Structure formats: structure tokens, C-alpha cells
Amino acid sequence: MRRETREVRRLTSITFHAVLKHIPAPVFGTLSLFVGLSILMVSGVVLPLDQGVLRWVGDLRSPAVIDAALLASFLADGTTIVIIGLGICAWLWVRTGRRPALALLFAGLTGELIYIAAKASFGRPRPDVIEKLGSAGWHAYPSGHTMLAMIIYGLALTLLAATTRGVTRWMLLALAVLIPLSVAASRVILGVHYPSDVLAGLALGAALLFWWREWSSSCASSRSASTT
């Protein structure tokens, strides 16, 4: 019996390490962050902090801040991000080739499916702490606006940055970070998400960004190796 138990443990360990070898470290790290946040959310540990931050944000809201938040949130609204995403896919196809464009398309499609499944699974209600000033759909966790902003804008800009050098490259990488963060902040400022909702959206979106970025890079490397 002990021998069988040790064998099971050994096979489990081998399988676990084999799986980890095929998961890029950034993907594993961001997925781990999402899992950790989800555990804290489900257990209710972060709710008092979430509510406190929302009240603090509500006290800081001003017409200018609200207008900026509405604009940032609009960038990740459903119709807006679909149109922009498809446009960027076409631009990537022309500018960088088929693989990066397909990576962005597949990332957007898988992101949409995963965030819908996650929202349905967690079923967290929207916050009712401060007045809601923006569009809000069904469940809150994770934030779909934030997750898709990270995937579409973050991935597109990092793929474009890989084709440039110098100041342009750094500007694109800065935008790849700033746009998703702006969307995340806007959803909290508008009162339609808890802070943990947008943090989870950033983490899960980043995991998909890194996964499809790695896929695009590995395909490009394989193609280069086959032509040498």
C-alpha cells in the first residue's frame, strides 16, 4: 500500500513538473495571482477593503475625474473594443504578418469565453457602495472591461513594439501598461466594480496576453529555424 502511495506521488510530481515546463513563467505567475485573489474574494477577506476603497474613491470624484473615467471605460466597451480589436488585427496582418494578427484574434476570442465562464462561476454581485455612473452588465468578478483591455490593447501594443526600436518601442510598451490600468481605475471610479474585480481582470488578462504572446513568438521562431 505504501509502495503504491509513493508511486502515485512520484507520478503526480512528474506530471506536475511536466505541465509546468510547458507553461511560461509569466503565465503561471499571473494565473497564480488570479487564483489567490479569487480565494480571498470568495472567502470574503477582501470585501471590507474593497468597500473602504470605493468609499474613498467616491469622496474624490469630481466632474473632470468622472469624464476621464467615462472616456477610459468607453475604450473597453463591447462594441468599441470589438471594432478597435478587429482594426488592430488587420493592421498587424499588414505590418507584422499573419501570426501576430491571429494571436490577437485568438486572444480576444478566448478571453471573451473565459471571462464569461468566470463571471458565471463566481457570480459576484455588483458593488452597491457608491452611485454607479457607468455601464454595468451582470456579475462583477472579474472585470470584463479590464480583462479585455489588457488582452486587446496590451497584446496588440506589445506585438507592435516588437517591430520597432528606440523611443517608439518604449512608448508602445508604456501604452500597453497605461491603457489597461486606466480602464481598471475607471471601473472603480465609476462605482461599477470593486478593486479586487479589476485586479483579477488584470491578472487573468495578463495571463492570456503572455500565453498568446509566447505562441506568436514561438511560431515565428519555428518559421525562422525552418528557413535557415
DSSP 160-183: HHTT--HHHHHHHHHHHHHHHHHH
State the pLDDT at residue 70: 94
Question: What pTM, to 2 d.p., does this model score?
Answer: 0.83
State the pLDDT at residue 220: 52
State the pLDDT at residue 15: 40
- Give the pLDDT band (50/70/90) at residue 137: confident
State the pLDDT at residue 145: 92
Average pLDDT over residues 171-200: 94
* Other beta carbons less than 10 A from residue 164's beta carbon: 14
- Give the pLDDT band (50/70/90) at residue 2: low
Q: CA–CA separation, 223 vs 228, rounded Å?
A: 9
Q: Name which of 114, 116, 94 is nearest 206 in CA terms.
A: 114
Residue 174 has pLDDT above 70, yes or no: yes
pLDDT over 90 percentage in the chain: 54
Instruction: List the chain domain ranges.
Output: 65-219
Average pLDDT over residues 106-122: 92
**Residue pLDDT, tens place only, 175-187:** 999 999 999 999 9
Look-up of cell digits 481582470: 201
- Whether omega for the bond prior to residue 195 falls within 30 degrees of 0, making it cis, is no
State the pLDDT at residue 21: 56
Average pLDDT, the chain: 84
Average pLDDT over residues 184-208: 94
